[in-house]
């Protein structure tokens, strides 16, 4: 080992006392999901759409404000004048206000479902990210074990070479292999840092905040049962259904648009005029005014056609989404089964065979019946299978996460400790 100078040790101790290390947050998979749901900025912005829709619902279906009118008409050549005062309220002849309220109600339901769907997708992204992080950790752990194994073999080969029992070329090969493991481990560490930087926005964490994930990729022994048919709609399906209902109500609302609101008002007049020898006389009048717009030039035909086409389009989009959801679930189930079969094939068959072959070659080499090259080749095949096992395990957990996201669930098929 290289010698560490005492002054350097003192500097490190002093720096540690001045700049204490900040404890890093450690998340399980479920904790990471909760962190994202509570701190993701994009999700917070999406939730404001619900407040916007609620505001539109409060405003929808209200009568227009009453109109107050007043007028004074004096006679320019005398003392006569007429004063008027009136108030008018407009009312719809149709169910326009109720339909407008219904459109906003369905709009609020769609906004709430869209936020729930954003939460579903975010949870799926976080679970996928946690799985990928654990995959990286498993690969780094395998690489460290490979590096440690290469170092032990190199030390053994170095001792046997000094004793003249093996050629020195074996030591050089193992030293090269050790260096290769070190370089690949550095690459995995750099990949992990890049991955964490991309993951911070999902979790709503600042750049200076450190975090890690607990647990490991558990290996399933049995295939989990296929999920039951959804008894309730997934959030995006609920949002599509609400948008379809809103579009249908909007089409009905468009038909009411050809009849504009009628105006009903109360007015009063004060009329002062000259009346022969009696001079100025004052007359008071009180009346009711009714205003009914006639749908002669504008029957709202264009908006009716537009709203009807929009209702049909949104309904077809909702139907297409239902088909895609069923296909997505079926695809995720098939992918999960395939990943499970591949994992079990490597774990139960191929890897035990590779370990048995490597063990036999190791014993044969100790007896002088196998070459060092045979041993390296057997160990290389075994390490390739261990790496393939990690890939298959990652494929299984990623498929399980996709299936969980597809069915809109909130818990994983397998738990991490």
- Cβ-based neighbour number of residue 395 at 10 Å: 19
Residues 6+ apart with CB under 8 A from 86: 68, 69, 70, 265, 266, 267, 268, 289
Model confidence band, residue 13 (pLDDT cutoffs 50, 70, 90): very low
Measured N-to-C along each axis, helices 301-345 and 235-256 cross at an angle, to the nearest 10 degrees, of 170
Residue 71 lies in a domain: no
Confidence (pLDDT) at 276? 62
CATH number, domain of 166, equals 1.20.1600.10
| Average pLDDT value for residue range 83-102 | 90
Residue 353: partners with Cβ closer than 8 Å, 6 or more residues away: none
279 domain-assigned: no
pLDDT of residue 78: 66
pLDDT of residue 75: 73
Q: Where residue 110 falls among pLDDT bands split at 50, 70, 90?
A: very high
pLDDT of 14 reads: 38
Output the six-digit token pair for 335. 């992918």
**Domain contains 126:** yes
- Quote the pLDDT of residue 3: 42
For the stretch 278-323, pLDDT in tens is: 667 778 888 898 888 888 888 889 999 999 999 999 999 999 999 9
Q: Are strands 211-213 and 25-27 parallel, antiparallel or unpaired?
A: parallel
pLDDT at 4 over 70: no
- pTM comes to 0.77
Percent of the chain, pLDDT > 70? Answer: 82
Residue 173: is its pLDDT beyond 80? no
Number of independent structural domains in the chain? 1
Q: Which of 12-21, 256-265, 372-381 has the lowest mean pLDDT?
A: 12-21
Kindly state whether residue 100 falls inside one of the protein's structural domains: yes
In a domain, 32, yes or no: yes
Q: CB 300: neighbour CB atoms within 10 A?
A: 17
Euclidean distance between CA atoms 149 and 189, whole angstroms: 20
* Per-residue pLDDT at 135 exceeds 90: no
**Residue 139: is its pLDDT beyond 90?**
no
Is 11 within the bounds of a domain? no
Report CA 215 to chain centroid distance, whole Å: 23
Q: Is residue 110 part of a domain?
A: yes
Determine the pLDDT at residue 8. 36
- CA-nearest of 188, 101, 104 to 141 is 188
Q: What is the mean pLDDT of the segment spanning 346-364?
A: 88
User: Which residue segment(s) compose the domain that 244 sits in?
Assistant: 27-60+92-260+295-406
Is the model's pLDDT at 11 over the cut of 70?
Answer: no
- Domain membership of residue 87 (yes or no) is no
Please state, rounded to an integer, the average pLDDT across all residues of the chain: 81
Average pLDDT over residues 390-395: 90
pLDDT digits (tens, 9 = 90+) for 238-267: 999 999 999 999 999 998 888 888 999 998
Tokens (6 digits) for 82: 């007429």
Q: How far apart are CA 123 and CA 235, in angstroms?
A: 13
pLDDT for position 113: 93
Residue 18 confidence (pLDDT) above 70: no
Residue % of the chain over a pLDDT of 90: 32
- In sequence order, the β-bridge partners of residue 71 are 84
| Residue 12 pLDDT greater than 70, yes or no | no
Q: What per-residue confidence (pLDDT) applies to 279?
A: 65
User: Is the Cβ–Cβ distance between 229 and 408 less than 8 Å?
Assistant: no
CA distance 214 to 137: 10
**Around Cβ 161, how many Cβ atoms within 10 Å?**
16
């Amino acid at each position: 080992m290289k010698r560490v100078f005492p002054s350097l040790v003192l500097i490190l101790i002093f720096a540690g006392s001045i700049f204490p290390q900040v404890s890093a947050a450690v998340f399980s998979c479920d904790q990471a999901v909760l962190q994202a749901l509570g701190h993701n900025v994009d999700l917070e912005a999406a939730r404001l759409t619900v407040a916007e829709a609620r505001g539109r619902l409060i405003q929808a279906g209200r009568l227009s404000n009453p109109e107050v009118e007043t007028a004074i008409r004096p006679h320019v050549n005398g003392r006569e004048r007429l004063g008027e005062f009136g108030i008018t309220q407009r009312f719809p002849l149709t169910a326009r206000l109720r339909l407008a309220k219904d459109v906003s109600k369905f709009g609020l339901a769609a906004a709430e479902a869209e936020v729930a769907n954003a939460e579903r997708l975010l949870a799926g992204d976080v679970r996928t990210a946690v799985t990928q992080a654990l995959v990286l950790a498993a690969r780094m752990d395998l690489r460290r074990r490979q590096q440690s194994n290469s170092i032990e073999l190199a030390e053994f080969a170095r001792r046997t070479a000094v004793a003249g029992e093996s050629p020195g070329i074996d030591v050089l090969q193992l030293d090269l292999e050790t260096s290769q493991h070190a370089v690949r481990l550095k690459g995995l560490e750099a990949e992990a840092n890049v991955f964490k930087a991309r993951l911070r926005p999902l979790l709503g964490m600042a750049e200076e905040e450190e975090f890690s994930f607990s647990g490991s990729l558990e290996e399933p022994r049995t295939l989990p049962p296929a999920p039951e048919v959804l008894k309730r709609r997934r959030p995006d399906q609920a949002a599509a259904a609400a948008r379809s209902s809103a579009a249908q109500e909007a089409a009905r609302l468009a038909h009411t648009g050809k009849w504009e609101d009628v105006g009903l008002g109360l007015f009063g007049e004060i009329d002062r005029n000259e009346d022969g020898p009696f001079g100025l006389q004052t007359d008071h009048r009180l009346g009711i005014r009714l205003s009914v717009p006639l749908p002669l030039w504008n029957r709202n035909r264009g908006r009716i056609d537009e709203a009807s086409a929009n209702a049909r389009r949104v309904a077809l989009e909702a139907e297409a989404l239902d088909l895609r959801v069923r296909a997505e679930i079926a695809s995720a189930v098939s992918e999960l089964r395939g990943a499970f079969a591949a994992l079990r094939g490597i774990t139960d068959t191929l890897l035990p065979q590779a370990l048995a072959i490597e063990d036999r070659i190791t014993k044969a080499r100790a007896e002088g019946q196998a070459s060092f090259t045979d041993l390296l080749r057997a160990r290389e095949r075994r390490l390739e299978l261990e790496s393939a096992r990690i890939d298959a395990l990652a494929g299984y957990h990623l498929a399980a996460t996709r299936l969980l996201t597809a069915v809109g669930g909130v818990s994983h098929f397998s738990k991490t400790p």
